[in-house]
Amino acid sequence: MDLDDLLHRYFGTHSLEEIGEGARSAGTEKMLVDLGLSRDRGQRFALWSVLYMLGAAPDLEIAFPEAADREAARNFMDLMAAADERPER
């Protein structure tokens, strides 16, 4: 799944900065429902990743039944933390 497509599907825009509070709340709720219903591992990871960036991701044990998927999510979290720690250029 492509990030731009996910943002447009759930929030009606391709930019996180353009999402209003109402749209953010509604889109996040819909993403959480779709995460719970999806059985496709790749789709679940994509949805969880966007939810993580929005501060709304469920715990790894809830989101990912497979240990490998939980480890991939931990790696994603580490990469996001490292990106936040990089000095501005």
Structural domains in the chain (count): 1
Q: pTM of the entire structure?
A: 0.87
Residue numbers of the domain that contains 7 = 3-85
pLDDT tens for 43-86 read: 999 999 999 999 999 999 999 999 999 999 999 999 999 998 77
pLDDT tens for 9-24 read: 999 988 888 888 899 9
CB–CB of 58/35 below 8 Å?
yes
Q: What is the DSSP string of 7-43?
A: HHHHHSSS-GGG--HHHHHHHHHHHHHHHHH---HHH
